[in-house]
Amino acid sequence: MNSREISHIIVAIIVLAIIISFSSLLDLRFAAIGASLIFSFIIIGVNIAAKKWAANSLDADVQHEIWTWSRYGPKPSKHLARPIPSGIILPLVLSAFSLGSLKCMSLLTYQTSALRRRAARRFGLYSFTEMTQWHNALIGSAGIVANLLLAFVAYFIPGLEALPKLSAFYAFWNLIPISSLDGTHILFGSRIVYTALAILTIIITLATFIIV
């Protein structure tokens, strides 16, 4: 994990904490703000750790960065000179306009690359090493499944009543197949896997709102 990736992850944790505790920020409830920061660290940390583990098992590396938007037309040439950090602006704007009611948690995207040992172990030292869409889907799916498991486990831990809902909600937002979010990687890699994860995520998310 390089310094650039770490800085993007830290920004995402802070933004997610602001989104979670937006109403608490308005009321200056510092204890709630601190708890939101801890929850944000856990949610994003579990997601990233699962992707790192999945990538390593495929002899690959995965790098995370803030979700950005630059392309505004069907042609590759139609893009902005400087990408807009959608993963910061959109969640904060939606939270501000809804006074914290709408919690957009689409913050990070990821890119995978094959490690040199992948070529040596699987295809011969000088063979083609590019990751396939299927491998990308597996890595993205690992993050979604990890957040759903976190929601399930946290439900049985006293004092973490808000964490199951937030973790499931994070998985839900990142499954949306737009731009370069996790859902896009998973959908392009396998529609069957995407459909199964989408159904499971919706069920668990709705359950956390009803039960928790």
- Of 207, 202, 159, 166, the C-alpha closest to 183 is 202
pTM: 0.86
In this predicted model, what pLDDT tens digit does every residue of 117-144 receive, in sequence order? 655 555 544 444 567 888 899 999 999 9
Mean pLDDT of 88-99: 89
Helices (H), the chain: 3-20, 22-27, 30-57, 86-97, 116-118, 133-154, 162-174, 182-189, 191-211
Mean pLDDT value across the chain = 85
C-alpha pair distances (Å), 21 with each of 4, 14, 110, 210: 26, 11, 25, 21
Give the total number of structural domains in the chain: 1
Sign of the alpha-carbon dihedral angle for 102, 168, 51, 76: negative
In this predicted model, what pLDDT tens digit does every residue of 155-178 receive, in sequence order? 888 888 889 999 999 999 999 998
Range of the domain at 161: 3-211
